[in-house]
Chain A
Amino acid sequence: MTEVTENRTATDVLTIAGLSKSFGGRLVLDDVSLSVHRSTITAIIGQSGGGKTTLLRCLNLLERPDRGLIAVDGEPIFDRRVVCRDLPELRRSVGMVFQRFNLFPHLTAVENVILAPLDAGVPEREAVERAVGLLRRVRLTHRATAYPEQMSGGEQQRVAIARALALRPSVLLFDEPTSSLDPESTGEVLRVMRELAGDGMTMVLVTHELSFARDVADRVVFVDGGRIVEEGEPGQVLGNPREPRTREFLTHFSQSHQSKE
């Protein structure tokens, strides 16, 4: 299995091989293998409960897999057990944005962004400068001293993105970042993510925004029943899927979205 990582270290930020995970006897991930190349966007799509979020959460070991291998920047972090010596260090290189933002409610927007770098030993002055720069990047300087509860969902999620970027991670994981947002806020967040993609940020996102995946992703992975059913270029997977199960999902998805509209 180490062979896999050695061969791909040059371009792969993330390598997963033979990953399995079950919760209380129910297999949630079943022998999943995937590589994420540097400066690419990988969109993971699929039904709720299909294992997408679990897969994402395994990547920074918020969830411990039962079997398999995970390597970040060519360095194995999980090989049938956790082999990463310094979990906090790993998590600083794998940023994560949650569906429900999870901002720290007792701190202002700018302090939310400052906290982790400061904790990681970045000098205060630099941490503050970095935070202000990142708030500018997500167009929220005017909300720097607002508390999360004073902000809209879209603003909170953009602060969460700035917070995840503050440690300069080599990859950013997004867990359904727009699922709890209204259409306008969704637009704001997707705009920021699009810009990040343009800047060459490596991103893995679990999403229901298929049109965003089609426009921005380099690779789309369809996960169902804990397995990768199909993966490939967005145009192919979303436009001309090979697998009947993918076609079925896309048909249901577009039907349910039409009926909503």
Chain B
Amino acid sequence: MFQVPWSEYSVDLWEGLLKTLSYTAVGFVGAALLGLAVALMRLSPARPLRIPAVLYTEVFKNVPLLAVIFLTYFGLGSIGLKLDAFQAGTLSLVIFYAAYLSEIFRSAINGVHGGQQEAAEALGMRRISTFGKVVFPQALRLALPGTNTMLVDLLKSTSLLVTISAAELMSQGRLITSATFRALEVYLVIAAVYFVLCYPLSQGLLWFERRIQAGTPLSVGRRRRLRAAKALLDRKMSAQEMSTQEMSAQEITTPEVRA
């Protein structure tokens, strides 16, 4: 059954794989940044910001990705704005996925309890710190599951770029097929490569999600402050040698993991 000389195509496959990963990375980072900007615009009290954001989201949520790819590659090319396959491909992924991510981010930011903003305000925190240190970290936790799904979905959608010969995995598969005429074998292997990429990615993201939900401090600053607080508590405890608080001392040696 397996008659394709794979060793001859290993370089092509490898290059396709790297290309797929580049499309995914650039596309996702761009989409996340644009999506956050659009979400903030939609949450703004100013109508001139809100209306274009709503229009943007609604338009790109209701247009197929393939149409967006053709528009940016062939459409813009026809009016003199010639983009190469990588530019057109990443641009399509960014504008298409930003629409979905903006919806996820918007509902996550909305999902942070109003009392949180108020508590930060009452503590004299300014708007930017309130957003950055109170609202955003909580919204991030709420947005994580949806965002992770979108990342895996984006990776798989890079295969649509085969239509503009973007040199990613699927395009390489098509080239190998046209050289060997072994469509079943080639596309089985290509599908397997996608699976090998996506499955660990989604499992890894799930693990990351669970760690975040468990409250594991990820930022260097948080870890440092927690260490400093614990050192201070330990010192005071041992100085006082309070036998009654031995339990407490044990508890504070590691951050408690949430149930």
Contact = CB atoms under 8 A, between A and B. Distances in A.
A102 B116 contact: yes
Interface stretch (B42-50, B132-140, B149-157): B132-140
Contact of A88 (B124, B254, B259): B124
Given A114-B225, A119-B129, A89 B115 contact: no
A240 B180 CA distance: 101
Contacts of A164: 122-123
A102 B114 CA distance: 9
A96 interface: yes
B138 A106 contact: yes
Given A108-B215, A108-B226, A132 B123 contact: no
A115 B256 contact: no
A167 B124 contact: yes
A1 interface: no
Interface string B59-83: 0000000000000000000000000
Nearest to B214: A147
Nearest to B222: A111
Interface residues of A, number: 45
Interface stretch (A120-128, A188-196, A198-206): A120-128
A104 interface: yes
B211 interface: no
A21 B48 CA distance: 31
Interface string B186-228: 0000000000000000000000000000010000001011101
Interface in B163-177: none
B119 A104 contact: yes
Given A115-B123, A163-B123, A102 B118 contact: yes
Contacts of A136: 236
Among A89, A95, A100, A141, chain B packs the most CB atoms within 10 A around the CB of A141
Interface string A140-169: 011111110110000000000001100100
Contacts of A98: 115, 118-119, 122
Contacts of A129: 232
A91 B228 contact: no
B11 interface: no
B70 to A, nearest CB: 43
Contacts, number: 121
B1 interface: no
Contacts of B248: 141-143
B229 A142 contact: no
Contacts of A106: 137-138, 141, 215
B247 interface: yes
Interface in B223-259: 224-226, 228-230, 232-233, 236-237, 245, 247-249, 251-252, 254-256, 258-259
Given A106-B138, A132-B232, A142 B126 contact: no
A132 B226 CA distance: 11
A44 interface: no
B116 A104 contact: yes
B58 interface: no
Among B115, B124, B133, chain A packs the most CB atoms within 10 A around the CB of B124
A87 B126 CA distance: 9
Given A111-B225, A128-B225, A132-B229, A91 B121 contact: yes
Contacts of B226: 108, 110-111, 145
A247 to B, nearest CB: 35
Contact of A102 (B115, B137, B229): B115
A92 B125 CA distance: 9
Contact of A91 (B124, B134, B229, B252): B124
Given A104-B138, A119-B129, 9 more contacts: A91-B122, A107-B222, A108-B255, A120-B124, A141-B233, A144-B233, A145-B229, A146-B256, A164-B122
Nearest first, the 9 closest Cβ-Cβ pairs linking A and B are A142-B248, A102-B119, A92-B124, A116-B123, A91-B124, A88-B124, A96-B122, A102-B115, A110-B229
